[in-house]
Amino acid sequence: MQIRRNAVVQGVKRTAAEVDALLGAGTDRLAGARDALAARIDHTGDRLRDIEVGAARKVRVAARQAERYARGHPWQVAGIGLALAAAVGIAIWLAARS
């Protein structure tokens, strides 16, 4: 996931550099640059949507696995919840004291 996001960020940076170069070259190439930029932006948007779909799929799988675990191990989940609540309570108490 990190690799794909880095690739998208690099693509956006490369596009921005190309736009800067084209704007420095003059207005005669601006019309072609506009079309090229629009195509690159569409491509980047498609890639971001693909990343979003993949992330949503992974979240759904993780949620199903968590639900299966919680149904199979209710006391362990209750214990984890109690431990987290105690840790948050202690953190709040310590923050209030200082």
User: Which residues have CB under 8 Å from 44's CB, separation 6+?
Assistant: 8, 11, 12, 15
Q: What are phi and psi of 2, to 5 degrees?
A: -65, -40
The yes-or-no verdict on residue 25 having pLDDT over 70 is no
Instruction: Report yes or no: 2 and 34 within 8 Å, Cβ to Cβ.
Output: no
Is the overall model pTM greater than 0.85, yes or no?
A: no
Nearest to 34 by CA among 47, 24, 19: 19
- What are the residue boundaries of the structural domains of the chain, listed by start? 2-73
Model confidence pLDDT, tens digit, residues 44-61: 888 888 889 999 999 999
Nearest 10 degrees: CA dihedral of 24, 27, 33, 37? 80
Tokens 């202690």 identify what position? Answer: 90
The DSSP letter of residue 59 is H
Whether residue 21 has pLDDT greater than 80: no
Q: What is the pLDDT of residues 68-89, one digit of tens each?
A: 999 999 999 999 999 999 999 9
pLDDT for position 14:
81
Band the pLDDT of 24: cuts 50, 70, 90.
Answer: low
